[in-house]
Amino acid sequence: MSGRCAGKVALVTGSSRGLGKAIAQRLAAEGATVVLTARTAEPDPRYDGSLVQTQQEIADAGGTAVTIAADLSDTADRERLFAEAVAQVGAPDIVVNNAAVTFLRPLDGFPERRVRLMLEMHVVAPLHLTQLAIPAMRERGRGWVLNLTSVGGDLPPGPPFSEFDRTAGFGIYGTAKAAMNRMTKSLAAELYDDGIAVNAAAPTNPVATPGAGTLDLAKTDTEDIELITRTALELCTGDPSTVTGRIVQTQTFLREIGVLS
């Protein structure tokens, strides 16, 4: 298949459903061989989507994908995932860190084990997978890393604080995404001379995915998932000498490059 990602391998985490699935499908449609990973390998009535379903939809559309189930909160499983991906299709040219675990509750009663799990999934795992990918990217002189972030990583205005910020329980989620954003900038700076682009992207408004539904989000002012997949495509194919170190929101970024008016 021809396209902007032809001949490239893309690893997309959390690709059994939601944003990860949509981004994987977009990259496959542009010619990438996509490594799909998440915990849900086979269809399960408890969940909406699976790796096998995503793979089949990509194949039906003429694309190529392989599935490797993994628990990305586990260091050894991340290493196994990466080794199996390299063995099956080669080292990735593109890494999309989308997988996440999110709990929303006030900070005064937030369980430590859940804090650690969220930081592992939003910060440690993306860094680790990027570290695993760097040697081959550096040898090729090119590579693209995209971290899926959120406007929740922005500092809330105040005081006075809005009712939402006082009650929504986004403290740990926002902290994790803010850390991801800072890590993205640092990686971009450190890898700039190697031709490796590192960026982060967030939907301007919530996208009505299964995850958002579980958290009772994305009821109003929702955004078309096409905006994040187009943003991902641009950031995963752009010139690493100029399109790197960006922390973007979909609508602002797509207006900047002339896709939206």
Listing DSSP states for 181-195 in one string gives HHHHHHHHHHHGGGT
Asked if 16 and 99 count as a contact pair (C-beta separation under 8 A), the reply is no
CB atoms within 10 A of CB 42: 11
d(CA 125, CA 91): 17
Task: Specify the amino acid at residue 153.
Answer: G
At a CB cut-off of 8 Å and minimum separation 6, what does 256 contact? none
Listing DSSP states for 42-90 in one string gives S--TTSS--HHHHHHHHHHTT-EEEE----TTSHHHHHHHHHHHHHHH-
173 is catalytic: yes
Residue 102 token pair: 């999110």
Instruction: Name the active-site residue from 144, 170, 173, 253.
Output: 173
Query: Rounded to whole angstroms, what are the CA distances from 124 to 118, 193, 235?
Result: 9, 23, 22
Residue 176 token pair: 């994790």
Asked if 104 and 215 count as a contact pair (C-beta separation under 8 A), the reply is yes
Catalytic site positions: 173
